[in-house]
Structure 1
């Protein structure tokens, strides 16, 4: 199984960043506008439409406010047999946030594509949330 790790900074208060991350159904408005163009909730599942037209069904696995950690999994994907993502938010100095985003994915050969899409998503988050 391939694991893609992204650790990055956002020039924003960690409370603000966590509030956007934990709003599972509004990722297209609060966390990643432009990268995610639409999101709708069906219970604990969000159906996302991405900037490139790809649609994914992501199920909320855990949202831990104490640890500021959100875990989700893609279900029923055509291109992936397994996809589990974890985002964690950490305060890092005055007004700065460090985020850790880890995705475990199968098949292994899709990991470079996932990593490149994560890079685009990170830039969208920085643009939207950063000062």
Structure 2
């Protein structure tokens, strides 16, 4: 199994970022606008439409307010045997340190998933650019 780990900073408080991240049906407007263009929640599964046209069904595994951690898993994919991911947020002064981890099978899919994660990180960084109160 390929594991992808991205650690990055956001120019916003953990509370600001968590408020957007935990809103699982508003990825496209609150967390990663431009990278995700639509999100529809059906029970514990959200249908995510990405800017590149790809659609994924993601089961929300956990939304942990105490740890500021959300975990999800892609379900029903014909491209992936396995995909489980999490995003966790930590205070770093007035900024947020974020850690996005994804486990993916087959290994051959890892480079495509890693590229999408990089796009998601960039979208989050744009979304939260200069929102820290100085």
Scaled by the length of structure 1, the TM-score of the pair is 0.97
Match runs of 1:54-73 below 5 Å:
54-73=54-73
Q: How far does the alpha carbon of each residue in 1:47-101 deviate from its partner, in whole angstroms, 9 at most, with x for none?
A: 01101000000010011100111000000011101000010000101x2000000
Distance in 2 between the 1:22 and 1:74 partners?
17
Give the aligned partner of residue 127 of structure 2: 128
Distance in 1 between the 2:62 and 2:74 partners?
13
Give the aligned partner of residue 87 of structure 1: 87
Instruction: State yes or no: 1:104 paired with 2:103.
Output: yes
Distance in 2 between the 1:46 and 1:3 partners?
23
Displacement of 1:130 = 2.0
What runs of 5+ residues in structure 2 fail to find an aligned partner? none
Distance in 1 between the 2:8 and 2:85 partners?
16
User: Which has a greater percent of helix?
Assistant: 1
Distance in 2 between the 1:14 and 1:69 partners?
11
How big is the alpha-carbon RMSD for the aligned residues of Structure 1 and Structure 2? Answer: 0.6
Match runs of 1:9-88 below 5 Å:
9-88=9-88
Match of 2:26, SS state, is: helix
Distance in 2 between the 1:130 and 1:65 partners?
23
Match of 1:16, SS state, is: helix
What runs of 5+ residues in structure 1 fail to find an aligned partner? none
